[in-house]
Amino acid sequence: MTVKQVRVYSPGSIANLGPGFDVIGVALDSLGDIVRLEKIDEPEVRLSVKGVGADKIPVDPEINSSGAVLQLVKERYDVSHGFKAEIRKGIPPGKGMGSSGASASATAIAVDHMLGLGLNTKELIGLAAHGEGAVAGAPHADNVAASILGGYVLVGEDYDVVRLDAPNVGVIVVAPEINIENKTRKARELLPEKVALMDAVKNIGYATRMTAGVALGDPVLFGRSICDNLVEPHRAAMIPHFWKVKQAALDAGAYGCSISGGGPSVFAVGEPVGEIAKAMVEAFSSIETRVYHTTPSNRGARVI
């Protein structure tokens, strides 16, 4: 028997997390989306969006992460009825905090619960990653794995994910009010097809030390390992004053600082969060910004 209506909360996330491009992500506390899913008789997918940045999110299921999840479920499981999904945004879209991933993750959890599909973790992550692909151009699972599972995640092949509890540490995300059209696609287009071996070695070292910091419950080692020689140098060009903002964060006491997801937000890890946030905002100069004070969340998406 199917459930007629279900509501799911899914946290936002920071993906890439410095050296972990397309592999490492962490869920965020107090930043999330809610999806209310209803079964309808008509064989179609209807979407509505409310909340933060709702006017910037398309309701065409073909190019909406939640809609793409529902359409795939209808095709894959031969579902004759339709769905109506109301997406209530708590995460600003296009800022690198896992907005589309949170919506896709909440929808995957909701439709699995509604239809009683009994999907395992890998299947849920794969379904949500398909939704991400509708926005990003290709599926990637570092955001959705963090949103679904909570904590600190490492994504392997075929959506095989290792999850660890994330350390308790302050996270500051500063989002500049700049508009980058097709931001996710552009951020990927900036990346080189080949990288220097030494840069790759450095990133492997940072990523392994960062994971060791998480496993050891050492927030300082975790934060100081948020360094990136492969992606950050190329994507920094998208973000005005990026290097100045990063240095300001480090000078104010941050353990580490990098681009949040595909940008343009910049995140820092460390204490005291107030002084770090102030320094970052000032370094953005005349650009208007919005600041989010948060911590890693070890709770993932859940029915509410």
What is the average pLDDT across 16-32?
96
| Coil, helix or strand at residue 162 | strand
Residue 79 has pLDDT above 80, yes or no: yes
What is the average pLDDT across 82-104?
96
Which of 38, 75, 121, 184 is flagged as catalytic? Answer: 184
With a CB cutoff of 8 Å and minimum separation 6, the contacts of 216 are none
Which of 132, 232, 289, 295 is flagged as catalytic? Answer: 132
* Rounded-to-10 torsion of CA 291, 128, 226, 267: -10
Question: Among residues 2, 11, 28, 4, which one has the least CA distance to residue 267?
Answer: 28
CA-atom Rg of the chain in angstroms: 19
Residue type, 179: N
Residue 182 has pLDDT above 80, yes or no: no
Residue 186 has pLDDT above 90, yes or no: no
Round the average pLDDT of the chain to a whole number and report it: 95
Q: By the 8 A CB rule, do 170 and 271 touch?
A: yes
CATH 3.10.180.10 fits 171-294, yes or no: no
User: In the annotation, is 132 catalytic?
Assistant: yes
Domain range summary for the chain, segments of one domain joined by +: 5-165+297-303, 171-294
pLDDT in tens, 221-243: 999 999 999 999 999 999 999 99
Residue 256 has pLDDT above 80, yes or no: yes
User: In the annotation, is 184 catalytic?
Assistant: yes
Domain covering 5-165+297-303, topology:
Ribosomal Protein S5; domain 2 (3.30.230)
